[in-house]
Chains A and B, each alone.
Chain A
C-alpha cells in the first residue's frame, strides 16, 4: 500500500525538548520523518506544503481526556473524540476509566483499543481504574490492565477516600511501574458542591467546594507517594495550595508530577455568574489567586504538563439547573490557543508551553520520546501561531458542544496534524 508523503518547506522546526529551533524543509514519508534540512529536493510523488511563517512541532500529547466509549456514546465516541483531538493538534491521548462499564478490567481496555484500531484519528492510550467500578472499595486488576495496554491508573472523577486502599494501590502499581493519576477532591469536604467556595458561590447561593478539599488530598497522596515510592501524577491542579505542595514535594525529590488544565489557567469562578453551566467543572474554576498560582506552576515546571480534561456532555446534561448540571467541558480544540495566550501575555515561554504539551506528558508515561528528528515516527502538528479565528463548538469535531469558550477570539491554529505520517487533520 502506498504511504502518504509530505514535504513541508521553509517551516520553523520547533522542539524545545531537543533544543531544536531552526528553519528548513521537513519530509514526512513512510510514517517517518525521513529528512530535515534546508532546500530538500526529494524524488517521488509527494504533497508540497508551504511552511513559511508556520511552526512544526511534535504531535501534542494529552494525558487526561474522556472519550465516553463504552457507555456514553451519545456524548462522544473514540472516533469523534480522537477526530476532535486531531483538530487540536494532538497525536496521542490518554482516556480515563469512567466509562460504563468502567475500564477496570482487561476486556474493557481491549474493547477501547479495538475501537481505536477501527476508527481513531490519533493514538489512544487507556488509563485503567484504580478500584473496581471506581467504587473505592477494592483494587481493580491492575496487572492485567497494564498487560492489556493501560499506561496508568486513575479513579478520575472520584477521589479514592480510603487512605489504606490508596496506599495499597500505590504499592501495587509501583510493582508494575505504573503512574497513579489522581483526581484530588475530598469527597466529604466538597459534598454537594457545584463550584468553588468563595464570594461568588456565596452571592449565587450555590454550595461551594473549598480549595482545601483539593489541598488535603494532594498532601495525603504526596505522603503516600513517599511511603510507597510510587509515581504520583496530580491531575488538573486548580489551587495555589496544591501547586505549592507539589513544588515542595519535587524539591524533596519525590516522584510527583502535576498537570494544569487550560480552563483553570484561563477562567475564574466569576464565569459561573449568571449560572452558566458551561463554567461548571470539577475541580471547579477558582479565584484569581489560584489561577495565577497555576500559571506560575506551569511557568516554573512545578506543573509538568498541560492536559485538557476533555469532558464532553450532551446538551441535556448541561441545559439544566446549575446544581444539577454535569461537570466538565470540551478541551481538545481550544487547548493550544488558550495555552498560547499565556505566551502572548508573557507569563509562560513558548518553549514551556510546547514542552508541557509534548515531551513532558510522554516522560510521565515513561514512554520513549522521539520528537522532531530524522528517523522518528511522524507524529507532528503544523501550527500558525498568528492566525486569529473565532471558536464555535458547533464547528468542532466533538459530538458535544459544552464549552465556555463559545465565540471567543482565538490566536493560533492547527493547520495540519499527522499521525504515523498520515494526515489526520487539515485546518
Chain B
C-alpha cells in the first residue's frame, strides 16, 4: 500500500485505511527510540528541510529527531535565521530551497494555507504541514489518534471533547477531521467567543459548559489560549477563564472512570489545566510527545520512500 496524497496538508487528505497504514508503519519504528543506538538507515541520502516560520519546540524537535533516527540529512530553517527577514517571500524561499533538491519540506507557518502554496510549486519534493495558522496540524492529529488508540484500543464510538480556543486552533480542526474519519463523536467546548462561526458545518456538537459535558467524555483534549493570534481578549480574565474552562482536580471528579486527558502543548499550567491534572494519572501528555516522534518517522519514511518510484526531477 502507498499513500494516495503526495503531501500531508490536511487530515481530510487521508482515508481511514491510509491512517491505519501510517499507524502500522509507526509501530515498526516505535522500538527504535528504545534502542541504545537510535538510528536506522531507512532514509540515508535523503534530505529533509524543516522550514519553520513560527516558534516551536515540540514539533520541530520531533521532526528533527524523526529524520535523524531515519538517517536523513535534516536541515532546520527558522524565520529569524532565514532570508524572510531580508524581505524574501515564502514562495521564493521555497523555490530556492527546492533548487537544492530536498526530498521533504516540513512547513510551519502562521498563515493558513501557506504549505498548500508551497506544495503547488513543487513537482518532486513533498510537503508535510507542521501547522498552518488556524487551519490544520495533521501530524499532531495523527499522534493524538494513535495515543487514543493505544489507551482505548479503538477510537470508533468514543466521545471526545476538545476544550478551549477552538477559533484559533489548528489542532482542533485536524483532530475533528481525524476523529470523525474513525467514527468518534466530537464535542467542542469553550466560551462562545472562542468558538468560530460556521463550526457546525464540521459536524461537531458545541457546548459552552465544560462541567456539564465532562461527565460524558471518554477523552478530553485541552487547548492553550493562543494569545498571539488574538485581536481582542475574548473573555474577561484568565482567572475567570480558568474557573469555567480549566480542568482541575475538583472538576475531574465528575469525569467518567477511565477518562484520558490530552494536551498538544505548550501547556499553560493553571490556566486551561491545573498542574495536578497535567501530571496526574489520567494525563497522556507525554505519551503524545513520545508517539509524535514515531508517527513522524513513519510519515517521513512513507513520503520519502515513495519518491523512489517518481520519475523526473523538480
Contact = CB atoms under 8 A, between A and B. Distances in A.
Interface of A: 191-192, 197-208, 210, 274-275, 316, 319-324
B136 interface: yes
A223 to B, nearest CB: 26
B109 interface: yes
Given A275-B112, A322-B113, A202 B197 contact: yes
B113 A204 contact: yes
B197 A321 contact: no
B230 to A, nearest CB: 10
Interface in B193-235: 196-199, 201-202, 231
Given A192-B231, A319-B91, A201 B113 contact: no
Contacts of B114: 321
Contacts of A323: 111-112, 133
A5 B45 CA distance: 74
A248 to B, nearest CB: 26
A210 B196 CA distance: 11
A392 to B, nearest CB: 20
B158 to A, nearest CB: 23
B109 A321 contact: yes
Contact of B112 (A191, A199, A316, A322): A322
A324 B91 CA distance: 13
Question: Which one of A274, A321, A324 has the greatest number of beta carbons of chain B within 10 Å?
Answer: A321
A202 B136 contact: no
30 contacts: A191-B231, A198-B197, A199-B198, A200-B198, A201-B196, A201-B198, A202-B199, A202-B202, A203-B173, A203-B202, A204-B135, A205-B132, A205-B133, A205-B135, A205-B136, A205-B170, A208-B196, A208-B198, A275-B112, A275-B117, A319-B89, A319-B91, A321-B90, A321-B111, A321-B113, A321-B117, A322-B113, A323-B111, A323-B112, A324-B111
Contact of A203 (B91, B201, B231): B201
Given A203-B198, A205-B170, 20 more contacts: A191-B231, A197-B198, A198-B197, A198-B198, A201-B198, A202-B197, A203-B173, A203-B201, A204-B113, A205-B112, A205-B173, A206-B135, A274-B113, A316-B89, A319-B89, A320-B91, A320-B117, A321-B90, A321-B109, A322-B111
A159 to B, nearest CB: 17
Nearest to A287: B198
Given A191-B231, A192-B231, A202 B198 contact: yes
A206 B198 contact: no
A207 B197 CA distance: 10
A92 B231 CA distance: 41
Contacts of A275: 112-113, 116-117
B5 to A, nearest CB: 14
A208 B199 CA distance: 13
Contacts of B145: none
Looking at chain B's contact residues, is the secondary structure mostly helix, strand, loop, or mixed? mixed
Nearest to A198: B198
A322 B109 CA distance: 12
A286 to B, nearest CB: 13
Nearest to A325: B111
A279 to B, nearest CB: 12
Nearest to B133: A205
B128 interface: no
Nearest to A210: B197
A267 B173 CA distance: 26
B134 interface: yes
Contacts of B197: 197-198, 201-202, 208, 210
Contacts of B89: 316, 319-320
Interface string B157-170: 00000000000001
Nearest to A206: B112
A273 to B, nearest CB: 10
Interface string B115-134: 01100000000000000111
Nearest to B172: A205
Contacts of A198: 197-198
Contacts of B135: 204-206
B143 to A, nearest CB: 19
A153 B306 CA distance: 60
Q: Which 6 A-B pairs have the closest CB atoms?
A: A275-B113, A205-B135, A321-B111, A202-B198, A199-B201, A205-B134
A213 B201 CA distance: 22
Given A197-B198, A198-B197, A198-B198, A206 B116 contact: no
Nearest to B173: A205
A120 B114 CA distance: 39
Contact of A274 (B116, B133, B170, B231): B116
A208 B198 CA distance: 10
Contacts of A316: 89
A274 B120 CA distance: 10
Nearest to A201: B198
A207 B117 CA distance: 18
Contacts of A206: 112-113, 133-135
A323 B134 CA distance: 11
A131 B74 CA distance: 54
Nearest to A276: B113
Contacts of A207: 134
A197 B198 CA distance: 8
Contact of B90 (A203, A204, A320): A320
Nearest to B199: A202
A277 to B, nearest CB: 9
B93 to A, nearest CB: 12
A248 B121 CA distance: 49
Nearest to A200: B198
A103 to B, nearest CB: 29
Interface in B251-304: none
Contacts of A324: 111
Contacts of A320: 89-91, 117
Contacts of B202: 202-203
Contacts of A322: 111-113
Contacts of B132: 205
A207 B196 CA distance: 9
Interface string B176-205: 000000000000000000001111011000
Contacts of B116: 274-275
A192 B231 CA distance: 8
A156 B294 CA distance: 53
Given A275-B117, A320-B89, A320-B90, A204 B196 contact: no
Nearest to A321: B111
A381 B173 CA distance: 51
A197 B275 CA distance: 36
Interface in B77-128: 89-91, 109, 111-114, 116-117
A131 to B, nearest CB: 24
